[in-house]
Homo-oligomer: A and B are copies of this chain.
Amino acid sequence: MDRNGKARTGRKGEGVLLPLASAGRRIHGSVARDLGIAILAGRHAPGAVLPGEIEFSEQLGVSRTAYREAIRILSAKGLVESRPKTGTRVSPRGRWNLLDPDILAWAFESEPSEAFVRDLFELRLIVEPAAAELAAGRRSGLDIARMGHALEEMARHGLAAAAGRAADQAFHHAILEATRNAPLIALSSSIAAAVTWTTIFKQRRRALPRDPLPEHRVLYEAIVAGEPARARARMTDLIRLALADTELSMTE
């Protein structure tokens, strides 16, 4: 994943270290990210107006051009709105595109509220079991192969390693692909990514106490068998367990 804040180390002539936030990202992207995180963290409340373009861009040490492009990005995601004379102000929360992948990633940069995580799991519990149900009825041999492969990778690396988490995402993504429903795939991919951040966030505090592989396996078997009802039930189980783990690590 190169979407998080880590710098891509190891380049050859990297020169002196830049402000690490900007590694591998254009200036407009960095500014958009920083501002986006600040807004999602509540450092700029909805309704608040940002400083003028000239002032703010100077403050950030970037050109007005780059700053404006950053604002266009945030505006496209519903975070801010600009108008002449009035200035640029943070939009009310209701207009934020909370399912935008970047927004979700930014939200998990500064520990998200417990309520928000709960809401996301509630949504998962609505969408993903239904997705599993559809997938069980529509999956092709290729889909099954992909799921099986991802499962093996998960078993091999474990969820502590990045490769293992990638395999976990691949498994869920394969299920989604099998639904043959593009909007559904887009939706759940966003949430799944966010939940991966949750996993990382979780492991900041303590190692995952439970092996999540068994529930993945039984879900896989249900989909392979082509039994929609069972697939739905198994996916529900899986998410409930993940929720329980997350709640445990959040409350302590």
* B-binding residues in A (CB < 8 A): 28, 32, 65, 68-69, 72-73, 75-78, 93-94, 96-102, 116, 119-120, 122-123, 126-127, 130-131, 134, 181-187, 190-191
Contact = CB atoms under 8 A, between A and B. Distances in A.
A97 B120 CA distance: 18
Contact of A186 (B68, B72, B99, B184): B99
Contact of A183 (B73, B77, B123): B123
A184 B122 contact: yes
Contacts of A122: 134, 181, 184
A189 B86 CA distance: 27
Given A116-B182, A116-B183, A120-B183, 20 more contacts: A28-B72, A72-B72, A72-B73, A72-B76, A73-B73, A76-B76, A76-B77, A94-B185, A94-B186, A97-B99, A98-B183, A99-B99, A99-B183, A119-B181, A119-B183, A119-B184, A122-B134, A123-B184, A123-B187, A126-B127
Given A72-B69, A73-B75, A186 B130 contact: no
A96 B28 contact: no
Q: What 10 A-B pairs come out closest when comparing CB atoms?
A: A76-B76, A126-B130, A98-B186, A73-B76, A72-B72, A119-B181, A98-B183, A69-B72, A123-B183, A123-B184
Contacts of A116: 182-183
B98 A100 contact: no
A134 to B, nearest CB: 8
Contacts of A68: 69
10 contacts: A69-B69, A72-B73, A76-B76, A93-B182, A97-B186, A100-B100, A116-B183, A119-B181, A119-B184, A122-B184
Contacts of A72: 28, 69, 72-73, 76
A106 to B, nearest CB: 12
Nearest to A125: B130
A96 B190 CA distance: 11
B102 A76 contact: yes
A75 B73 CA distance: 8
